[in-house]
């Protein structure tokens, strides 16, 4: 699963009167005879949601994508762009609201774009997320899905949501800019690099907001300049805050364009006085002209180099740059499900492909004889090894490299897995890796995925190679965004 959801993207979702998207118009000759016209105003019934959260409507029988509309709405829209078989439109009037429509609680929802579904009730979101999984499995994977436990096919369970679907993110990354001579920080306005100030983000931990606001206030008082992308001048680029949900630990990282932080001691004192839980204040230096947030050099300004958090009873060390799942509450549910599906008795050999910092590997290691983890990013494997040591897990081996290269090498070495777990990024697994997995003939395969489309494609290859896809559990890792995570169980026929 890749980080994904809830990030402060630049891609907004205009509500009423929102901007149209930049789709190129098609030559008008090709569009003759369509039942709608560009700039025409029509009534539409919303019958679905696209994968990026736009309402899918029908006007005169023609399909239109409409930002800000939800299934069940009856709306009046203006067509903004036409293609041969579908078009885009903007919302003009809400004629009859869907029973699933709610008022977005966030005051900056429309301008921000980090969330896409705050205007849809949480229940409806969870239903929709399951449905996107079902649709991918049937349309892309050509699988039968069993409904309500009846008939043949894959069981797709209801999406596991959060009891409290707000304030779930443990990491805040805020770009810093200047307005009227003072620091501001929040998110980029749609399609621009202008920074809009943000006091609160409802999906991030409260302490994250508190720290960012404190840093902005202290910076203003000390006369600190924000980094300016256009001139490549100024100091403060980003503020990153990480919070350990179960430990209360807080880490603050100031990302600076240059080595020297003026009034360094005042910064440190100010942050410590305003935010009592702070255990680590770091500086990361990034002098490149780039959108990448972190540079290569990190130094501790005050306190520890690491903070800690738990997922289940496994302890993880988190550094300024290390990856950590952003929703620890749901991550625990997802990985417990992976462990359940692996059905380990203690004697098994398990491979964890795309293991990242070893989160799933360490879960599995509690119940397996030996776990082999592979991951392409060397720093993540260094973290994985540190985490294994931290938890006294002596039965895990980690390797740096491509899963599709390392796992065949393991096979040559005579490693015979009883269970293979994969958790690939959005693009899914390489077909050659799936072939290797089939050749290794593990009893079970557990496929964790952040993209239902590539999941369905890969499950098809595994099913054709001799595995039965038993069940899929969707988990809501990123409430109010369009992302959905799944854990799937395959068993050898």
In what helix (H) or strand (E) does residue 405 lie, and over which residues does it extend? helix 403-412
Could you give the CA distance from residue 224 to residue 240 in angstroms, rounded to a whole number?
Answer: 17
Whether 355 contacts 375, CB under 8 Å = yes
Binding site for ligand SAH (CB under 6 A): 1-2, 325, 354-357, 359-360, 374-377, 380, 402-404, 423-425
Instruction: Collapse the DSSP code of 44 into the 3-class scheme (helix H, G, I; strand E, B; otherwise coil) and give the result.
Output: strand
Whichever of 280 and 359 has its CB closer to ligand SAH, that residue is: 359
In what helix (H) or strand (E) does residue 66 lie, and over which residues does it extend? strand 62-66
DSSP 42: E
Whichever of 264 and 315 has its CB closer to ligand SAH, that residue is: 315
Whichever of 193 and 427 has its CB closer to ligand SAH, that residue is: 427
Which residue has tokens 């709608």? 36
Provide the minimum distance between the beta carbon of 357 and ligand SAH in the complex, in angstroms, as a whole number. 5
Task: Give the active site residue among 201, 450, 486, 487.
Answer: 450
Could you give the CA distance from residue 167 to residue 479 in angstroms, rounded to a whole number?
Answer: 10
Provide the minimum distance between the beta carbon of 409 and ligand SAH in the complex, in angstroms, as a whole number. 13
Instruction: Collapse the DSSP code of 347 into the 3-class scheme (helix H, G, I; strand E, B; otherwise coil) and give the result.
Output: coil
DSSP 265: H
Whichever of 95 and 377 has its CB closer to ligand SAH, that residue is: 377
Cα distances (angstroms) measured from residue 372 to each of 65, 316, 365, 408 = 45, 18, 9, 13
Could you give the CA distance from residue 341 to residue 77 in angstroms, rounded to a whole number?
Answer: 46
Could you give the CA distance from residue 74 to residue 345 in angstroms, rounded to a whole number?
Answer: 54
Rounded to the nearest 5°, which phi and psi values hold at 217? -65, -45
- Shortest-Cβ-distance residue relative to ligand SAH: 356
Provide the minimum distance between the beta carbon of 388 and ligand SAH in the complex, in angstroms, as a whole number. 13
Provide the minimum distance between the beta carbon of 352 and ligand SAH in the complex, in angstroms, as a whole number. 7
Neighbouring residues of 452: CB distance < 8 A, sequence distance ≥ 6? 132, 133, 135, 136, 137, 484, 486
Whichever of 136 and 325 has its CB closer to ligand SAH, that residue is: 325
Could you give the CA distance from residue 315 to residue 85 in angstroms, rounded to a whole number?
Answer: 52
Provide the minimum distance between the beta carbon of 307 and ligand SAH in the complex, in angstroms, as a whole number. 17
In 393-484, where do the E strands start and end? 396-400, 419-422, 444-449, 467-475
Whichever of 25 and 431 has its CB closer to ligand SAH, that residue is: 431
Neighbouring residues of 65: CB distance < 8 A, sequence distance ≥ 6? 50, 54, 55, 56, 57, 86, 87, 88, 89
Provide the minimum distance between the beta carbon of 263 and ligand SAH in the complex, in angstroms, as a whole number. 37
The DSSP bridge pattern shows strands 396-400 and 419-422 to be unpaired
Provide the minimum distance between the beta carbon of 308 and ligand SAH in the complex, in angstroms, as a whole number. 16
Provide the minimum distance between the beta carbon of 323 and ligand SAH in the complex, in angstroms, as a whole number. 6
Strand partners, 422: 353, 447
Whether 388 contacts 358, CB under 8 Å = yes
Check if 201 is active-site: no
Whichever of 45 and 405 has its CB closer to ligand SAH, that residue is: 405
Whichever of 93 and 340 has its CB closer to ligand SAH, that residue is: 340
Name the CA radius of gyration of the chain, rounded.
Answer: 24
Instruction: Collapse the DSSP code of 379 into the 3-class scheme (helix H, G, I; strand E, B; otherwise coil) and give the result.
Output: helix
The catalytic site residues sit at 450
């Amino acid at each position: 699963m890749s980080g994904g959801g809830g990030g402060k993207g630049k891609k907004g979702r205009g509500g009423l009167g929102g901007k149209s998207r930049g789709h190129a118009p098609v030559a008008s000759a090709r569009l003759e005879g369509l039942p709608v016209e560009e700039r025409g105003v029509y009534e539409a019934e919303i019958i679905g949601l696209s994968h990026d959260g736009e309402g899918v409507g029908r006007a005169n029988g023609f399909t239109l994508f409409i930002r800000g509309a939800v299934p069940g709405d009856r709306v009046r829209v203006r067509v903004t762009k036409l293609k041969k078989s579908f078009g885009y439109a903007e919302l003009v009037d809400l004629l009859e609201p869907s029973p699933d429509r709610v008022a977005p609680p966030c005051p900056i929802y429309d301008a921000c774009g980090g969330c896409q579904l705050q205007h849809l009730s949480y229940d409806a979101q969870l239903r929709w997320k399951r449905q996107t999984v079902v649709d991918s499995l049937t349309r892309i994977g050509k699988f039968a899905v069993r409904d309500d436990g009846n008939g043949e096919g894959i069981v797709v369970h209801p999406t596991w949501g959060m009891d409290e679907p707000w304030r779930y993110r443990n990491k805040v990354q805020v770009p810093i800019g200047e307005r009227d001579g003072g620091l501001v920080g929040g998110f980029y306005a749609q399609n621009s690099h202008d920074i809009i100030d943000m006091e609160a983000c409802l999906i991030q931990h409260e302490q994250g907001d508190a720290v960012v606001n404190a840093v902005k206030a202290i910076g203003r008082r000390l006369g600190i300049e924000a980094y300016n992308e256009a001139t490549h001048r100024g100091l403060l680029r980003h503020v990153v805050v990480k919070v350990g949900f179960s430990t209360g630990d807080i880490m603050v990282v100031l990302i600076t364009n240059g080595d020297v932080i003026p009034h360094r001691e005042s910064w440190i004192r100010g942050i410590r006085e305003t935010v009592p839980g702070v255990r680590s204040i770091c500086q990361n230096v990034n002098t490149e002209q780039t959108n990448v947030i972190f540079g290569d050099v990190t130094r501790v300004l005050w306190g520890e180099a690491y903070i800690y958090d738990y997922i289940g009873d496994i302890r993880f060390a988190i550094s300024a740059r290390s990856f950590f799942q952003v929703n620890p509450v749901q991550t625990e549910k997802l990985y417990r499900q992976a462990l359940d599906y692996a059905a380990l008795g203690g004697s098994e050999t398990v491979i964890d492909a795309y293991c990242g910092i070893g989160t799933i590997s360490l879960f599995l290691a509690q119940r397996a004889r030996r776990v082999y983890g592979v991951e392409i990013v060397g720093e993540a494997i260094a973290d994985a090894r540190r985490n294994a040591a931290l938890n006294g897990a002596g039965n895990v081996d980690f390797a740096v490299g491509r899963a599709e290269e390392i796992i065949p090498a393991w096979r040559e070495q005579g490693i015979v897995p009883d269970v293979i777990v994969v958790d690939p990024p959005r693009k899914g697994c390489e077909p050659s890796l799936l072939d290797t997995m089939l050749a290794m003939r593990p009893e079970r395969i557990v496929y964790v995925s952040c993209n239902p489309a590539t999941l369905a494609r890969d499950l098809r290859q595994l099913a054709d190679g001799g595995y039965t896809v038993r069940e899929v559990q969707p988990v809501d890792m990123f409430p109010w965004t369009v992302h959905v995570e799944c854990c799937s169980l395959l068993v050898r026929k």
